[in-house]
Structures are given as structure tokens and as C-alpha cells.
Amino acid sequence: MELRHPTHRAYSRGFYPDDGRDFEVRLLLGYAGSGGSDAGEVLATIDGLDDGHPDAWAHAWLALGRRVASSARAAQAAGHTISAASAYLRAANYLSTAFDGLDGVGTDSARLAVFAEHRAAWDGFLECGPFTARRIAIPYEDTTLPGWFVRPDRATEGSATGGSAGRPTLVMVNGSDGSVSGVWCAGARAALDRGYNVLLFDGPGQQSMLFEHGTGFRPDWEAVLTPVTDTLLGLPGVDPDRLAVYGISQAGYWVPRALAVEHRYAAAVADPGVVDVSASWLAHLPKPLAAMLHDPTAAAKFDRDMKLGMTGQKALQRMWVWRARPYGWDGRYFDVLQKVREYTLTDEMAAQITTPMLITSPEGEQFWPGQSERLAAMMTSARTVVVEFTAADGASGHCQPMARALTAERMFDWLDATLTSR
């Protein structure tokens, strides 16, 4: 008798009915290509998890992250630095997933302790990895932003590798809630493999700047990218004529916004393009509620109606607080959404961009559908190319999470050609 198996459709059906959990699993599986996860570890972890209480979800990733971090420390102590680096990077991503899962569930002190474990694993990865990594402090207003400058060699600190003018360098701008180890997997590893230097940093509202210093987002990202660029140009081995900047997720807005003012970059990537951040917030609001946002006198009624709508929706409440915190969440829904609406790229701003830009456009973009094409049309003074990613290629969804190798191939082939033409 012939045995027939059901069609395997995990990719199209999803791993979880909950969009947030499903996306987290896709992200982690996508990290495997750059060493940021092991597919078996991810699948084994979710194998025993249902759609139940968020405690179980968070603590499953916490247990995995701690176990892998322990293996990393043991390997490092025994002198097995390559194995240690591999385990540290995976642990950093698992611990970051646990940290996110504890939001609204665990206490603030417990969550910050997990964030510290995540960052310790990240530091261990940089210490053991087969590259030159340097922690830097980027002057920003009256403080500094933490950054990491990584070169694809073990050269001495004072040398300028890649020729007398140095190497091409990629600045990576994170999104609204991604970890530094996550953005590493999104493109830093691929950049190093191709001979680029890489600079990563926590900007205002991102990771340590938010959780440890209480610094929130700002829409005018040129105030961030300019001091980052100033600092970068003072580092060894950087070719000032071959600077590129990459922005993932919400940074698909921040990077174009900054480039309207900052013109020292020879190439840029928006993954995907974003011209109106608020669209992802307003898409789910009933039209009468959305209309109130244009009337300052309706603030009290708007807040009252939002609170009523959130009643009994614990998961939705947790998600709202998580998303709203970097905008200065203080319990007033109206005020937060007014701030989010400031994150809009105007035609006048876009026309000031002269940097050539590659813009990704994935099929099934959940948050900003159609905005990649809008951004390209608005950039009347710069050469743009919109690169589509499809479900047939396993590359659908926001930032095509399970097709990062394909993304890197298309992105860096374009970057190499664009920077070489300089």
C-alpha cells in the first residue's frame, strides 16, 4: 500500500497564527545563513510550544540562549575561538528573542538582565570572531551612541587595508526594534565576506539607547547619520569615496530622510522603502478614529475610545506599548500617533536625495505595501532601482526574512558595481 504524505506548506501557512511569533521564527531561520542561528535549534524549540501563554515562549528562548551561551564560554576557555564565536552569535539572537518576548510579561529589572546577557553574548562574538572589531563611541548631542567598527581582516590598528585609500565601508542602520546581532545577520556578515568594512550602532530609540538610557526616536535622522559619518571618516582603512549606507525595516524611512541632507554616501539601500511610517499604524484603525487625528480637540475622545477598544486585549496592549515606547509613550494614544505621523518623507525632501539607491520590494509586504515604488518615484534627482522579491523565491514578507542570502547577492552585486563606478 502506498503511503501518501500531506503537502508540506510551513512557508505559506506559517509557523504560528500569531503574526508576531510567526515573524520571529522566520527571522531566526533566516539568520541561519549567516551563522546567527541553527535551524535545528529553532525548530526543536518551537516543537514543544503551542499558542499559549507568552511566558512559555519567552522562557523557551531564554533557556536555549543560556545553554548556547554556556557552550560558547566553554569553547572560548578551551581556546576554540571559532566555535565560541559561532555559539555566541546564536546565543545573542536567541536571548534577544527572549528579551522581546518578556515585554509586558516580566519585570523591567528581569528584562534588562536578559538584555545584558544578550549584549554579553554579542561582545563575546566580536571578541572571538575572525575579523577585527573595535568598539567606538559616536558623539551625539550631549552624549554618545555605542558603535562597532568591524574590518574583514586581522590587520594592525593603524594600517589601511584594501589599498592606500582603504576599503569600501557599509554603515548599517537598524530598524525600530531589531537587535544588533540581528542586523549583523541581515548584511554585515555578507559585507565582510566581500571585503567591506562595516559600522553598526545603536541610534536614538534603538536597543541600549532606549532600554538603558531612555532616549527615544527622532524623525530627522540626518542629525544621527551625520555624526556617525564624521566618526567613520576618522577611522583607519576607510575609503571616503566608497561609503554606502543600508537601512532595514523602519530605517527604510530614516536612510532616505538623512540622505536628503547628508550627501557623502556613494550608494544606499532601503530594505524596503518607506515614505510614511504612520501607514502601518493607521491601517488597522477604524476610519472614524483615524479621522479624529486631524482634530486636536478630539484627543480626549480618541484616547477614551482607544482604551475601550484595548479592553481585554492583553496581547494587543503589549504590542502597542512595545511599539509606542520609543515615541515617548505616556498612556496617551493621540499624542503618540501625532508623533508617528511626523515620520513622513515629503516630495521636497526626496528630491534633495542625490545618492544612488537600491530599494527592495517584497511580495506581501505587511507594513508599508507599495511604498518602495513610491519612494523610487519621488527621488527625482537620484538613480534608483527597485528589486522585487517573490513568494516563489521564498522571499516574500517584510524584509524577506527567510531569503537573506538572495537579498545579499542582489544587494552587494549592485553595491559593488555602483561603488566601482565611482
The candidate with the shortest Cα–Cα distance to 34, out of 385, 412, 390, 356, is 412
| Total Cβ atoms within 10 A of residue 329 | 17
Region 269-278: what's the mean pLDDT? Answer: 98
Domain coordinates in residue numbering, the chain = 14-124, 132-277+343-420, 279-340
- By DSSP bridging, strand 197-201 and strand 167-173 are parallel
- What does the alpha-carbon distance between residue 236 and residue 319 come to, in Å, rounded to a whole number? 42
CB 268 within 8 A of CB 245: yes
Q: Do 14-124 and 132-277+343-420 show the same overall fold?
A: no
- pLDDT tens per residue, range 167-212: 999 999 999 999 999 999 999 999 999 999 999 999 999 999 999 9
Torsion region of 69: left, alpha or beta (phi above 0 gives left; psi -120 to 50 gives alpha): alpha
CB 20 within 8 A of CB 177: no
pLDDT above 70 coverage of the chain, percent: 95
| Total Cβ atoms within 10 A of residue 26 | 23
| 415 pLDDT more than 90 | yes
- Per-residue DSSP letter, 248: E
- What does the alpha-carbon distance between residue 84 and residue 72 come to, in Å, rounded to a whole number? 4
Give how far Cα 97 sits from Cα of 26, 192, 212, Å.
Answer: 12, 25, 18
* pLDDT at residue 154, rounded to an integer: 57
Give how far Cα 73 sits from Cα of 64, 67, 70, Å.
Answer: 14, 10, 5
CATH code: domain 14-124 is 1.20.1440.110
- What does the alpha-carbon distance between residue 93 and residue 39 come to, in Å, rounded to a whole number? 13
Across 249-383, the runs of DSSP E, i.e. the strands, are 267-271, 357-362
What mean pLDDT, rounded, does the chain reach?
Answer: 93
Architecture of domain 132-277+343-420 in CATH? 3-Layer(aba) Sandwich (3.40)
- pLDDT tens per residue, range 315-334: 888 889 999 999 999 999 99
- Which phi and psi angles does 230 have, rounded to 5°? -60, -45
| Total Cβ atoms within 10 A of residue 127 | 13
Q: In angstroms, how far is CA 275 from the centroid of its own chain?
A: 17
Supply the pTM of this predicted model: 0.94
* pLDDT at residue 318, rounded to an integer: 87
| 49 pLDDT more than 70 | yes
- pLDDT tens per residue, range 208-243: 999 999 999 999 999 999 999 999 999 999 999 999
Show the cell assigned to 102. 518578556
pLDDT above 90 coverage of the chain, percent: 84
| 14 pLDDT more than 90 | no
Q: In angstroms, how far is CA 166 from the centroid of its own chain?
A: 27
Q: With bands split at pLDDT 50, 70 and 90, how would you rate the model's confidence at 52? A: low
Scanning 129-203, the segments in alpha helix (DSSP H) are: 180-183, 189-193
